[in-house]
Amino acid sequence: MTTATPIPMVDLREQYLTIKQDIDDAIADVLNTTQFIMGQNVRSFESEVADYLGVSDAISCANGTDALHLALRALGLGPGDEVITTPFTFIATAEAIAYVGATPVFVDIDPLTYNLDATLVEQAITKKTRAIIPVHIFGLPCDMHTLQALADKHSLHIIEDCAQSFGAAVDDKKTGAIGDVGCHSFFPSKNLGCFGDGGMLTTNNKELADKLRVYRAHGSAKQYHHSVIGYNSRLDEMQAAILRQKLPHIDTYNRERLRVASAYCEQLEQLNHLGIQLPLLEAPASQGKAIPVFHQFTLLTDKRDALKEALSAQQIASAVYYPIPLHQQKAITDCMPASTPCPHAEKTALRCLSLPIYPEMSQSNIDRVCDTVKAALT
Ligand SMILES: Cc1ncc(COP(=O)(O)O)c(C=O)c1O
């Protein structure tokens, strides 16, 4: 064990310090106004996000999981409906499908992008299919052109899970502005993160936006008049005030993440002949011009556990996102009919390792991570 300075997966304190005064002032303002719920910061943040993403409506909510749940409810999905999604994602994506009583149908991933393989989706569509949830995993956009064409052909909804992709784009459209609705998470470690939980729904469909506003507020469009059973799912003023200070920096944060990812790729490319697979710096050209935002930098190696140990011995964090694909998680297999195998997702789950990545990461720390990876794998 060395006494080197630890390198974390993400350094939230360093980011806070770069805009400390702005954040502290924004929090103090909320405390002074004592308007803690559904105030001016929430309203302004919603319109700033709508402008940034290029959508007509942005509806804030309590977290990214609720955003997915609210989207499925507002689109009217329920028991008997099937929703196609990826098995290589955080459990929240499938949990939301289960919350409304619908059935998740898992389609395997593309082994290079780690995203839902759009070319396999059509064969999974049945009479019961109502929606597709593409997850822009690790910040790399999915093949939205192919998915949108399938959705149009089969009259399906597209609910984008943008929890890891805030600011990413395909051609001239930001993720969250492509499908029927985009679901965002502001969990602290996300590319745009608050200091607690937070979420957002984005859409260009006014009717859907109105429904989402009703569902997030106890099923009421007018106070104490309840038309449906809804939820209490609000972003609070404190989080909105913090997010408003961070939003103007998101393009810089994402550019800096790309800087780190590019530096990793440049230094680790030489390991390719050892069977290491590095993440793509951009999606295949056939999928349009897709701009990634590197929420995670995830490589594949057969020596995953040894590499994790070697990094840990040098005080360098690493993480396995995700060790078990969703179609093999007990919570999911207990509530759905036998699923078809997803061999690429299964293999990826056994070999994946995410390295530290955050906008403020120094070149010397990047070098230290790369030297350790190279020493461990060669
Ligand atoms: C892909 C994905 N979807 C949904 C979520 C849920 O977001 P939240 O933690 O804000 O509920 C996450 C969060 O980790 C996620 O990574």
- Are 94 and 326 spatial neighbours (Cβ–Cβ below 8 Å)? yes
Of all protein residues, whose CA lies closest to atom 8 belonging to ligand 1?
Answer: 64
Kindly state whether residue 1 falls inside one of the protein's structural domains: no
Kindly state whether residue 20 falls inside one of the protein's structural domains: yes
Q: Is 234 found in the same domain as 91?
A: yes
Q: Is 148 found in the same domain as 228?
A: yes
* Ligand 1 atom at shortest distance from the alpha carbon of 92: 4
Q: Is 243 found in the same domain as 283?
A: no
The alpha carbon of 64 and the centre of ligand 1 are apart by a number of angstroms equal to: 5
Q: Is 255 found in the same domain as 242?
A: no
Kindly state whether residue 4 falls inside one of the protein's structural domains: no
* Ligand 1 atom at shortest distance from the alpha carbon of 63: 10
Residue finishing a domain among 248, 280, 312: 248
The alpha carbon of 163 and the centre of ligand 1 are apart by a number of angstroms equal to: 5
- Token digits for 220? 């009421």
CATH of the domain at 284: 3.90.1150.10
Kindly state whether residue 240 falls inside one of the protein's structural domains: yes
Residue finishing a domain among 248, 271, 289: 248
Q: Is 307 found in the same domain as 319?
A: yes
Q: Is 319 found in the same domain as 210?
A: no
pLDDT (0 to 100) of residue 181: 98
* Ligand 1 atom at shortest distance from the alpha carbon of 186: 10
Containing structural domain, residue 128: 13-248
The alpha carbon of 241 and the centre of ligand 1 are apart by a number of angstroms equal to: 21
Q: Is 255 found in the same domain as 233?
A: no
Q: Is 242 found in the same domain as 104?
A: yes
Residue finishing a domain among 248, 269, 289: 248
The model's pTM: 0.97
pLDDT (0 to 100) of residue 52: 98
pLDDT (0 to 100) of residue 2: 54
Q: Is 97 found in the same domain as 228?
A: yes
* Ligand 1 atom at shortest distance from the alpha carbon of 198: 10
Ligand 1 pocket mutation pick from 90, 136, 161, 234 by most atoms within 8 angstroms of CB: 90
The alpha carbon of 250 and the centre of ligand 1 are apart by a number of angstroms equal to: 18
3-state secondary structure the chain: CCCCCCECCCCHHHHHHHCHHHHHHHHHHHHHHCCCECCHHHHHHHHHHHHHHCCCEEEEECCHHHHHHHHHHHCCCCCCCEEEECCCCCCHHHHHHHHCCCEEEECCECCCCCCECHHHCHHHCCCCEEEEECECHHHCCCCHHHHHHHHHHHCCEEEEECCCCCCCEECCEECCCCCCEEEEECCCCCCCCCCCCCEEEEECCHHHHHHHHHHHECCEEECCEECCCCCECCCEHHHHHHHHHHHHHHHHHHHHHHHHHHHHHHHHHHHHHHCCECCCCCCCHHHCCEECCCCCEEEECCCHHHHHHHHHHCCECCECCCCCCHHHCHHHHCCCCCCCCCHHHHHHHHHEEEECCCCCCCHHHHHHHHHHHHHHHC
The alpha carbon of 231 and the centre of ligand 1 are apart by a number of angstroms equal to: 18
CA distance 250 to 229: 36
pLDDT (0 to 100) of residue 378: 85
Of all protein residues, whose CA lies closest to atom 12 belonging to ligand 1?
Answer: 163
CATH of the domain at 242: 3.40.640.10
Q: Is 136 found in the same domain as 260?
A: no
Tens digit of pLDDT per residue, the chain (378 long)? 557 899 999 999 999 999 999 999 999 999 999 999 999 999 999 999 999 999 999 999 999 999 999 999 999 999 999 999 999 999 999 999 999 999 999 999 999 999 999 999 999 999 999 999 999 999 999 999 999 999 999 999 999 999 999 999 999 899 999 999 999 999 999 999 999 999 999 999 999 999 999 999 999 999 999 999 999 999 999 999 999 999 999 999 999 999 999 999 999 998 888 889 999 999 999 999 998 999 999 999 999 999 999 999 999 999 999 999 999 999 998 877 777 899 999 999 999 999 999 999 999 999 999 999 999 998
* Ligand 1 atom at shortest distance from the alpha carbon of 66: 11
**Which residues, judged by CB distance below 6 Å to any ligand atom, belong to the binding site of ligand 1?**
63-65, 89-90, 92-93, 135, 161, 163-164, 185, 187, 197, 199
